[in-house]
Amino acid sequence: MKRIPMLIDGRWVGDDHDEWLPVNNPSTGEKLTEIVNGTKEHVDLAVKAARKAFESDEWRAIKPFERGQLLIELAAYIREHAEEWSLLECQDVGKPLSQAKADIEAAARYFEFYGGAADKVMGDTIPIEDGLLNATVLEPVGITAHIVPWNYPIQITSRSVAAAIATGNAVIVKSAEDTPMTTQKIAEWFNNSRLPKGIFQHITGLGSVVGAALSSHPDINHITFTGSVGTGINVMQSAAKNVVPVTLELGGKSPNIVFADANLEDAVQGVLNSIIQNAGQTCSAGARLLVESSIKDEFLSKLVERFKQIKVGPGHLDYDMGPILNEKQFTQIMNKLKVASKKGQILCGGKRANIEGYENGYYLEPTIVDGLSVDDDLAQQEVFGPVLTVLNFDSVDEAIQLANSTEYGLVSGIWTKDIDVAHFVASRMRSGQVFINSYGAAGGIQMPFGGYKKSGIGREKGFIALRSYTQVKNIAIKFKQY
């Protein structure tokens, strides 16, 4: 791909006077393209253009159903170019091609879903007293900033951008410096659309510079951020200084709880899929296995056998699992495994996978670690790699206590045939999503997604996400009584 400029106020910004950053293919280590290393000044220009576009008569004249039609047109365009966009996502992130294809379809579904919702965002009438007509209307918040992580760039861009534009906002997307390519494709489409210039803008660069400038800008009206807890806290603190609301999705250490009566084959496959998807580089990864003691040995035997069958390789060859994003991520994971190996037992994996012809990629064997204490770092903190920690329990109460024992609360999986146990445990989970006898079902476009505790604030996906991009105005009309 040619160099990626920024889209600001309908113009492509980036020339030889700018600093450019390389974007590499995690599968091969080769450079794919370059992005502009954006500055605070670029952010100021984008925010100014967004404000002008948002307040323009041209934008106000576009009816909600017309915004919806436009988003549905984008969904069709994404599907029309699905093969090309899937390969870009695969090359950019390193994930297997089939997973990239699923991400592209999910992106289309987000634009389709919120396109259909655009003219259905309605207020209420509230009975007060005779002679008073009271109504609420939902209005767009204004300028929304979307700071996107590197692990699911097309999905996470699409799910928040679609909801924000459906409700009438002006959008500024800051893509991850490692994975900007499919967001750039969305930017190209919007720039050629009939929307006013400045309603959709794409800026690039380092999070410490561009992301910080966005989150602290006094004319931003809402910030959506997905990433680490530490950065999320910084975003929230910056936003608080301007009294700006945030939606934060900050990761997790999600459990799969397997009871003795579960269908073990289904549970094995569910646990496996939940930790190897995108090489475990997933906020909602099922990174903890909590298994009932009476079946632990049997279950682990089956699981280790399946882990050893996983084929690891470059994304475009569509093996089961691709590489870790870069050397920094890979080194962090290996350092954590080194510490964990002294406290517990690595049942399988734990080593670099050497892929002939792809020695410059950072490949890791899928890993299972047993024998750790519940308080050990690897059992508590997000690894962001294909590393599963194992703990066992002897009672329902102990399972619940272990499941809720981390500072995160994003997703939980419960595997049992007992409907009473399933519902009771689900009612006690401190997590934003609970799946029973499944995990991450069908991508969940319609399912509210977000966390308890340090997994974040607010919800994305589904109709509830639309509320993040609107504000309520109450209008009371007094009329004369006869």
Residue pair 215/436 in contact by the 8 Å Cβ criterion: no
Query: To the nearest whole number, what is the mean pLDDT of the chain?
Result: 97
Please enumerate in sequence order all residues whose Cβ is within 8 A of that of 73, keeping only pairs 6 or more positions apart, or say none.
193
pLDDT of residue 443: 62
Residues designated as active site: 249
**Pick from 322, 352, 320: nearest CA to 335:** 352
Q: Could you read off the pLDDT of 109-166 as tens digits, one per residue? A: 999 999 999 999 999 999 999 999 999 999 999 999 999 999 999 999 999 999 999 9
What would the 3-class secondary structure string for 213-258 be?
HHHCCCCCCEEEEECCHHHHHHHHHHHHHCCCCEEEECCCCCEEEE
**Average pLDDT estimate for 61-72:** 98
Domain annotation for the chain: domains and CATH numbers: 6-250+458-474 (3.40.605.10), 255-443 (3.40.309.10)
pLDDT above 70 for 350: yes
Overall average pLDDT of the 231-239 stretch: 97
pLDDT above 90: residue 440:
no
DSSP alpha helices (H): ranges in 283-410? Answer: 296-308, 327-343, 377-380, 396-403
For 455-475, the pLDDT digits (tens) are: 999 999 999 999 999 999 999
What is the mean predicted confidence (pLDDT) over 84-99? 98
Give the tokens for residue 373. Answer: 């204490």
Q: In the numeric block, which tokens belong to residue 386?
A: 């294909």
Confidence of residue 442 (pLDDT cuts 50, 70, 90): low
Q: How many other C-beta atoms can be found within 10 angstroms of the C-beta atom of residue 137?
A: 14
Q: What is the pLDDT of residue 60?
A: 97
Cross-strand partners of 409: 452
**φ, ψ for residue 207 (rounded to 5)?**
-60, -35
Model confidence at 444, in pLDDT bands (50, 70, 90)?
confident
What pTM did the predictor assign? 0.96
- The Cα 28–Cα 14 span in angstroms is 27
Rg (the chain; Cα; Å): 23
Banded model confidence at residue 16, pLDDT cuts 50, 70, 90: confident
